[in-house]
Amino acid sequence: MTILVTGAAGFIGMHVAEALLGAGRRVVGIDNMNDYYEVGLKEARLARLTDYENFTFHKVDIADRAAFAAALEVYTDITEVVHLAAQAGVRHSLTHPFDYADANVTGFLTILEYCRSLRKLDHLVYASSSSVYGANNELPYSVSQATDRPVSLYAATKKANELMAYSYAHLYGLPLTGLRFFTVYGPWGRPDMAYWLFTDKIVKGEPVQIYNHGDMMRDFTYIDDVVSGVLSVLAHPPVETAAGPAHRVYNIGNNKPEKLLDFVAVIEKSLGLEAQRELLPMQPGDVKETFADIDPIRRDVGYEPVTSLKEGLPKFVEWYQDYSKD
* Active site (catalytic) residues: 154
User: What is the DSSP pairing of strand 207-211 with strand 78-83?
Assistant: unpaired
Give just the sign of the alpha carbon dihedral 180, 186, 189, 191: positive
Cα atoms in the 13 Å half-sphere on the side-chain side of 114? 31
- DSSP, residue by residue, 159-224: HHHHHHHHHHHHHH---EEEEEE--EESTT--TTSHHHHHHHHHHHTPEEEEEGGG--EE--EEHH
Inter-residue contact 125 to 234 (CB < 8 Å): yes
Beta bridge partners of 65: none
Phi and psi (nearest 5°) for 309?
-60, -40
Peptide bond into 314 cis (omega under 30): no
Residues 6+ apart with CB under 8 A from 266: 309, 310, 313, 314
The H or E element that residue 129 is part of is strand 123-129
Q: Select from 125, 138, 145 the least CA-distant residue to 301.
A: 125
Q: Select from 30, 206, 54, 189 the least CA-distant residue to 103.
A: 30
Burial of 276 (0-12, 13-18, 19+ CB in 10 A): exposed
Beta bridge partners of 244: 241
